[in-house]
Amino acid sequence: LNCVNFPQQVYRIHLHPMPGRLETLIKDTVSFTEHFKKREKLLVRPYLHDYGSGMMEAIRSVSANIHFDEERPKSMVRFSQSRLVVHNYLDTSCLETLYLNIPTILFYDPEMYDFRDEAKSLIENLKTVGVIHFNGESAALFVNRSFENLDAWWQSDLVQDARKAFVQKYANFSESWVQEWKNEFEEVILSDTSI
């Protein structure tokens, strides 16, 4: 369970859960741990900073069987060692695990995010195949049902097709990224005649 955390006060302009939505993120993360049956197999990777939200304490109170990532190796090392990575937030780590084809589950508050029309079908496809969930309980129940057959689920054509389509558009770690960004910016600039 790869966690994020945020301060309770605004300290910079950044789109992330603020008071009201932050409590939902915490509630959903704790709910995931409450509903996940194989807690002895759960390694929680807390966010680097504890902003005093009480999320880690709430998770610890769920079960003594939950392990916390005290070693804190680089995230890519930990991801590569994991059978499944669960994210409690839309972040770069989620894009990385999807790109690296590491079994990934993501849950987030749908009231917090809106997607461009062109992305909505790709998001819906990931939701349909079980990668995306709108709360921690749903994600945990899905993992409980799929845990013994995670590889079969993840390697299925439906999941891989949804993952590949999303990655191609939104998690492209191409080696020619500089040229691709240059082309993208030039296309935007040249197509905008109001500049």
169 CA to centre of own chain: 17
What is the per-residue pLDDT across 47-78, written as a single tens digit (0 to 9) for each? 877 778 888 899 999 999 999 998 888 999 99
Q: In the beta sheet, which residues pair with residue 68?
A: 44
DSSP 8-state code for residue 51: -
Q: How far is CA 29 from the centre of its chain?
A: 12
- What average pLDDT does range 174-182 have in this prediction? 85
Tell me if 67 sits within 8 A of 46, measured CB to CB. no
Task: Count CB-CB contacts under 10 A for residue 159.
Answer: 20
Burial class (CB in 10 A: 0-12, 13-18, 19+), 186: exposed
CB 89 within 8 A of CB 110: no
Predicted TM-score (pTM) of the model is: 0.83
Q: What's the residue count for the chain?
A: 195
Q: Is the pLDDT of residue 115 over 70?
A: yes
